[in-house]
């Protein structure tokens, strides 16, 4: 298993960052570079406890489908999502939001394993962990801009 943790301070309240993180349309915008689309949207158009979604994207020139479920939602502190089916042997993403003097500290803990135990471990160690780290950082940069914009519109 490979794991990494990313932290980012966002100048918006935790509830704003939490809700932006659960916005499927914002996720699609944040992954536009990879041509990511939703081919199965969550019921009601928003993520809730037990929501499932199927994503389609292209990485390394290869088209992938990944179906995931959202669970352990604890507004506005945390939620998790994990792969149900897709390219990984396993994939878990924990999102945690805590108050910070400048707004919100957003912490992402990603734990994953590529398929094919031995070969997957080598692939994860050589390049997949860094690739996934950069991908989540890109997503978080778009999320931060949007959450900060939303936070300003809520301020008096």
Q: In this structure, what CATH number is given to the domain that contains residue 15? A: 3.30.530.20
Overall domain count for the chain: 1
Kindly give, in sequence order, each residue whose CB lies less than 8 Å from that of residue 112, ignoring residues fewer than 6 positions away.
1, 2, 3, 88, 89, 90, 91, 92, 124, 128, 132
Q: What pLDDT does 117 receive? A: 62
Contact 141, 26 (CB under 8 A): no
Q: DSSP assignment, residue 124?
A: I
For the stretch 75-114, pLDDT in tens is 999 999 999 999 999 999 999 999 999 999 999 999 999 8
Q: What residues make up the domain containing 14? A: 2-154
CA atoms of 129 and 142, how far apart (whole Å)? 20
Contact 79, 58 (CB under 8 A): no
Question: What pTM was computed for the model?
Answer: 0.91
Q: What pLDDT does 154 receive? A: 58
Q: What pLDDT does 156 receive? A: 41
For the stretch 109-136, pLDDT in tens is 999 998 876 666 777 878 889 999 999 9
The angle formed by the CA atoms of residues 112, 7 and 26, to the nearest 5 degrees, is: 75
């Amino acid at each position: 298993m490979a794991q990494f943790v990313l932290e980012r301070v966002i100048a918006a309240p935790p509830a704003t960052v939490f809700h932006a993180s659960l916005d499927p349309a914002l996720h699609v915008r944040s992954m536009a570079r990879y041509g990511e689309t939703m081919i199965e949207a969550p019921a009601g158009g928003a993520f809730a406890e037990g929501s499932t979604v199927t994503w389609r994207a292209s990485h390394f020139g290869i088209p992938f489908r990944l179906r995931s479920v959202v669970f352990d939602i604890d507004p506005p502190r945390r939620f998790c999502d994990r792969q149900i089916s897709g390219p990984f042997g396993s994939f878990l993403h924990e999102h945690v939001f805590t108050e910070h003097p400048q707004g919100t500290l957003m912490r992402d803990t990603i734990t994953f394993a590529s398929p094919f135990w031995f070969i997957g471990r080598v692939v994860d160690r050589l390049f997949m962990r860094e690739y996934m780290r950069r991908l989540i950082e890109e997503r978080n940069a778009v999320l931060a801009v949007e959450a900060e914009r939303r936070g300003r519109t809520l301020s008096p």
